[in-house]
Amino acid sequence: MNNAEFRSERIAEAPDFLGAEADGEFRNGLREWLARELPRVAGDLIGTAALHSVEFRRKWEDHLCCAGLSGLGWPRELGGHSLPLGKQAIFHEECARAGAPLAVNMIGHGIVAPTIIAYGSAEQKRRFLPSILDNSQVWCQGYSEPGAGSDLAAIATRAERRGDVYVVNGQKIWTSFANIADQCLLLVRTTLDGAPRKGISVLLADMHLPGVSVRPIRQITGEADFNEVFFDNVEVPADCRLGEENAGWKIAMDAANYERSTYFVPRIVRMQAELEALVRLAAGTRRRGRTAIDDPAIRSAIGELHINLHALRLYADRILEMAEQGVPPGVDGSSVKLLWSESHQRLFELAMEILGPDAALGPQEISAPAQGRWGRDFLWTKAETVLAGTSEIHRNIIAERGLGLPR
């Protein structure tokens, strides 16, 4: 199997998501535009790993912005299109279906912008939103710290008010995109009094301020997608505080919810394409004297993944329907995160079983199947049961809030 086969992500057979019939014209227009523009902008990169590099992702994102495909859900008066969630989901679905890469400024668009729209002052909206809309400023999210991940309320990065500024000292970790970000949605402790959750504020912090330093962390894949970020007497203007002082916990929790309704749509669509590629891999690989797809254990595992994928589509439909009525995803959000991340890991484990020792061949080896992408993505999926809440935390949420089990 060559790389083009692995990344031939156009999946004509996949059923459509919510709103498909009513929004058919919107979907078809988008599909035609993507089918024309992606090959035109990507050229030779189609079917190669470089299509998913930060450089191309930024170029493609800029192209979407220039075509007006930005701020889809934002109110018109802020430069957006006021599209309902169903249509936003279709946009994400069609991009994934066309094989377009994920955005780099996904935190800016998916989390920061809706949070500023909900909680920002008129001045903050004027100041920060246009540069997200036109993609000229990339955002990161500074929540986790060495002593505060699952237990986010334990954050220790201090912000002390001195006149017109907050003086910030402390460390964040696992901060995705911090090495290229211009701004950070930063969670800080503004008082040590009272319950930990009641002493947290949110700052919109410029990453280029004196005293901010970023150190990339190399992952198991060899790439460095996230970073440590150090704040050493960084003076953040007080008018960059989002919402009231010490009222940041609710803002941080709401920010996570904005993203959850559409977050999994492209990931589920991509997983469908990967599962199709896995079936082709199994049909084209011989192991233990027969084609892998003829092995009952492999067939059964592929069948299970198809069932999980179907369940994920149903979950995603329900979450979108609820979100359109203003209901946050709640326990369903945990179920879909858990099922998606664990099924995605299983898919790539199965690829490793099918490939056997060939799975270890890296992109530099001429005979590496799919230029080593199966192995690289297998390693990357290890992060998926940790990011956006670990599997253990989501199981706790399902057990306590969904099933009413004791703590």
Ligand X SMILES: Cc1cc2nc3c(=O)[nH]c(=O)nc-3n(C[C@H](O)[C@H](O)[C@H](O)COP(=O)(O)OP(=O)(O)OC[C@H]3O[C@@H](n4cnc5c(N)ncnc54)[C@H](O)[C@@H]3O)c2cc1C
Give the residue numbers marked as catalytic.
Answer: 259
Separation between Cα atoms, residue 71 and residue 81, nearest integer Å: 6
Contacting ligand X (CB under 6 A), which of 115, 141, 341, 371?
A: 141
Question: Of the two residues 8 and 213, which places its CB atom closer to ligand X in the complex?
Answer: 213
The residue range among 196-204, 276-284, 294-302, 387-395 that interacts with ligand X, by the rule CB under 6 A, is 387-395
Is 249 near ligand X (CB under 6 A)? no
Report, in Å, the least distance between residue 107 CB and ligand X.
7
Is 396 near ligand X (CB under 6 A)? yes
Q: Which residue is nearest to ligand X (CB)?
A: 149
Report, in Å, the least distance between residue 4 CB and ligand X.
27
- Say if residues 354 and 285 touch (Cβ distance below 8 Å): yes
- Residue (of 332, 323, 324) closest to 394 by Cα position: 332
- Say if residues 258 and 326 touch (Cβ distance below 8 Å): no
Question: Of the two residues 151 and 349, which places its CB atom closer to ligand X in the complex?
Answer: 151
Contacting ligand X (CB under 6 A), which of 387, 400, 401, 405?
A: 387
Is 383 near ligand X (CB under 6 A)? yes
The residue range among 81-89, 284-292, 351-359, 382-390 that interacts with ligand X, by the rule CB under 6 A, is 382-390
Report, in Å, the least distance between residue 194 CB and ligand X.
22
Question: Of the two residues 11 and 54, which places its CB atom closer to ligand X in the complex?
Answer: 54
Q: What is the 3 state secondary structure string of 204-243?
A: EEECCCCCEEEEEECCCCCCCCEEEEEEEEEEEEHHHEEC
Site for ligand X in 157-186 (CB under 6 A): 174-176
Is 386 near ligand X (CB under 6 A)? yes
Report, in Å, the least distance between residue 146 CB and ligand X.
8
The gap from C-alpha 82 to its chain's centroid, in whole angstroms, comes to 22
Question: Of the two residues 124 and 175, which places its CB atom closer to ligand X in the complex?
Answer: 175
The residue range among 262-270, 290-298, 381-389, 397-405 that interacts with ligand X, by the rule CB under 6 A, is 381-389
Question: Of the two residues 107 and 273, which places its CB atom closer to ligand X in the complex?
Answer: 107
Site for ligand X in 179-238 (CB under 6 A): 226
Is 381 near ligand X (CB under 6 A)? no
Is 150 near ligand X (CB under 6 A)? yes
Report, in Å, the least distance between residue 158 CB and ligand X.
17
Contacting ligand X (CB under 6 A), which of 88, 124, 144, 343?
A: 144
- Say if residues 115 and 187 touch (Cβ distance below 8 Å): no
Residue partners of 122: CB distance under 8 A and separation at least 6: none
Is 379 near ligand X (CB under 6 A)? no
Q: What's the half-sphere exposure (Cβ side, CA atoms, 13 Å) at 314?
A: 8
Separation between Cα atoms, residue 266 and residue 84, nearest integer Å: 17
The residue range among 85-93, 113-121, 135-143, 249-257 that interacts with ligand X, by the rule CB under 6 A, is 135-143
Parallel, antiparallel, or unpaired for β 158-162 and 212-217? Answer: unpaired
- Residue (of 267, 258, 316) closest to 107 by Cα position: 258
- Say if residues 355 and 374 touch (Cβ distance below 8 Å): yes
- Say if residues 95 and 106 touch (Cβ distance below 8 Å): no
- Residue (of 252, 202, 253, 241) closest to 124 by Cα position: 241
Question: Of the two residues 142 and 329, which places its CB atom closer to ligand X in the complex?
Answer: 142
Is 143 near ligand X (CB under 6 A)? yes
- Say if residues 154 and 143 touch (Cβ distance below 8 Å): no
Separation between Cα atoms, residue 361 and residue 384, nearest integer Å: 23
- Residue (of 241, 244, 215) closest to 227 by Cα position: 215
- Residue (of 257, 243, 249, 259) closest to 120 by Cα position: 243
Is 66 near ligand X (CB under 6 A)? no
The residue range among 207-215, 254-262, 312-320, 389-397 that interacts with ligand X, by the rule CB under 6 A, is 389-397
Is 257 near ligand X (CB under 6 A)? no
Q: Return the number of other C-beta atoms located less than 10 Å from residue 360's C-beta.
A: 12
Report, in Å, the least distance between residue 133 CB and ligand X.
21
The site for ligand X (CB under 6 A) is made up of 140-144, 149-150, 174-176, 226, 383, 386-387, 390, 392-393, 396
